[in-house]
């Protein structure tokens, strides 16, 4: 089920999702613990697919027929921590595809507070089946390329 107020929105080819920083997201000094940005960005990638019409359960079932026993894995990630976020901040997690290749998708992500970019990331997600990288199924490739146009 897609819930736009929770899942975010796609504007100008980029997915925007709001995240509030809670106490549990912070370290002893009251700033967001660095690893929690990974959780925020994972939610952004998941909701990006969902809002493009790819509920992960349905997508997995469809791709399972085309390529049995598959998973997505983060192959590589480059992060640049620019500024800290603090408890009660409202953050905007922005996600957009850069490239869709044979067995991987390259995504850019930013975590913003207003106009300030706090964290920048490039994430390469690989499509793996039976322990090996495999070509991304047509259904997923079409969804991601539609966002690149």
3-state secondary structure 52-64: CCCCHHHHHHHHH
Q: Are 60 and 105 in contact (CB under 8 A)?
A: no
Give the pair of three-digit tokens for residue 126: 């690989």
Catalytic center residues: 27
| Percentage of residues in the chain having pLDDT higher than 70 | 81
Q: What is the pLDDT of residue 20?
A: 96
Q: Is the pLDDT of residue 1 over 60?
A: no
Predicted confidence band at 145 (pLDDT cuts at 50, 70, 90)? low
First to last CA, the chain: 26
Give the global pTM.
Answer: 0.84
DSSP label at residue 24: G
């Amino acid at each position: 089920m897609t819930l736009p107020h929770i899942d975010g929105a796609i504007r100008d080819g980029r997915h925007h999702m709001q995240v509030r920083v809670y106490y549990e997201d912070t370290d002893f000094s009251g700033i967001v613990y660095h690893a929690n940005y990974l959780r925020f960005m994972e939610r952004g990638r998941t909701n990006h697919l969902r809002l493009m019409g790819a509920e992960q359960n349905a997508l997995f079932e469809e791709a399972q027929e085309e390529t049995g026993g598959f998973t997505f894995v983060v192959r590589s990630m480059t992060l640049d921590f620019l500024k800290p976020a603090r408890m009660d901040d409202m953050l905007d997690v922005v996600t957009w595809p850069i490239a869709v290749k044979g067995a991987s998708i390259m995504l850019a992500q930013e975590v913003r507070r207003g106009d300030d970019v706090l964290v920048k990331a490039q994430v390469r997600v690989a499509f793996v089946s039976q322990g090996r990288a495999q070509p991304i199924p047509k259904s997923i490739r079409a969804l991601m390329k539609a966002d690149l146009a």
